[in-house]
Amino acid sequence: MVVMLFQNIMEDVERLKEEAGVAACDFIRDGMKLGLGTGSTVRYTVMEIGRRISEDGLNVVGVPTSEETRKLALEVGIPLVTLSESGGLDLVIDGADEFDNDFSLIKGGGGALTREKIVAQSSKSMIVVADDRKQVTTLGSFDLPVEVLPFEWERTRDRISSFCSGEVSIRGGPEPFVTDNGGYILDCSFGPSITEPKSLEVKLLSIAGVVEVGLFVEMCDAVVLASKGGVVTLINDSGRLN
């Protein structure tokens, strides 16, 4: 009975992810150049874009944020270009591990935060797809991912640990997870205390050895949010869609 209940919960979560991922495609217009995010929710977005290309004749090109997304996009028939070839993107659709009331994000649970941020900064607007578990008042319950160089990564970890209230651990343990860029990921347990994400981002980026930080501030323009009550779109009043 407990197993069946858990299975039902997981099926509900997956259904919510699919609903949000598909609904985000309503922001897409013919001829757009798209950033294709990484993660379990935006996976449904990528598959829906592929369906609309094959069945509805949608004309778009994509820039993937990870090797995983690149492979999926090719499988479903999305034409791909590089960021330099695109000349800039109209829209990026991506997931998030957390977002707060100011539309600041924690990203990097999938390990693609550096490429995701490069693509997001090259786009005219950013749409996030999420289920309601990702909505928080204060960022930090989800450990903050920080990509670092493998060279002397322990020293980089120690410098972050000097002001992180919780544990700073290397993802993957004895056999570290390696990003598409060849970096390592440090997961930093700040707890729900990140009230000034921009300041924390700047502080972390000032440490030699840090490649990128999974804080996305002043980038997200809307969140397509799925809950048991249905899919709603939250628009950032300070964003670029107004």
Edge to edge, what strands does the sheet with 144-148 contain? 168-170, 184-188, 144-148, 210-213
Between CA 195 and CA 104 the distance in angstroms is 10
DSSP 240: T
Q: Does the active-site annotation cover 116?
A: yes
List of E strands, the chain: 33-36, 61-64, 91-95, 98-99, 105-106, 126-131, 144-148, 168-170, 184-188, 210-213, 215-216, 222-227, 230-235
- Catalytically annotated residue among 116, 147, 201, 212: 116
Residues involved in catalysis: 116
